[in-house]
């Protein structure tokens, strides 16, 4: 079911400030910056080999990322695992008793299909991702 780690999500107050570490210090390149209106978030994707780092900034003080930073501060937000068939993966996870945040996939960064698993059952926020074709 799981193919690989797709990305690691990091919540930040400012993408402009945070990206400097990855570009100026670590020598990586920003692959793209995108606003995901549905999630009230702005993201920057930084490729590291086959995996990516996703910097996530809230575009709304009431958004999930803003609330996360308010409670926990900036830092690790989620681990994203790649699947080839997200609908099948969700059905399997639900059958195995995993509590889902998203019963149905929604659109994520790079036009991917995403769904989150509830951290109460997984001990960390896990996102499953089906990349666009």
pLDDT tens, 31-63?
A: 999 999 999 999 999 999 999 999 999 999 999
Backbone angles phi, psi at 10, to 5 degrees: -125, 120
pLDDT tens, 83-103?
A: 999 999 999 999 999 999 999
Alpha carbon distance 98, 91 (integer Å): 10
pLDDT tens, 58-75?
A: 999 999 999 999 999 999
Structure tokens at 128: 């499953």
Structural domains in the chain, CATH included, are 2-130 (3.10.180.10)
- Decide: residue 47, CB within 10 A, 0-12 exposed, 13-18 middle, 19+ buried: middle
E strand or H helix that includes residue 22: none
Alpha carbon distance 133, 19 (integer Å): 27
Contact 48, 37 (CB under 8 A): no
Structure tokens at 76: 């690790």
Answer yes or no: pTM beyond 0.85. yes
**What local confidence, expressed as pLDDT, does residue 80 receive?**
98
């Amino acid at each position: 079911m799981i193919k690989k780690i797709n990305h690691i999500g990091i919540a930040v107050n400012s993408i402009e400030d945070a990206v400097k570490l990855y570009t100026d210090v670590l020598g990586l390149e920003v692959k793209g910056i995108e606003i995901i209106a549905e999630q009230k978030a702005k993201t920057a994707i930084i490729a590291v080999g086959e995996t990516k780092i996703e910097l996530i900034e809230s575009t709304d003080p009431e958004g999930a990322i803003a609330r996360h930073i308010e409670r926990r501060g900036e830092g690790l937000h989620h681990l994203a695992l790649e699947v080839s068939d997200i609908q099948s993966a969700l059905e399997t996870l639900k059958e195995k008793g995993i509590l889902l945040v998203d019963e149905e996939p929604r659109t994520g960064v790079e036009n991917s299909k995403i769904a989150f698993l509830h951290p109460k059952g997984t001990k960390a926020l896990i996102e499953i991702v089906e990349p666009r074709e």
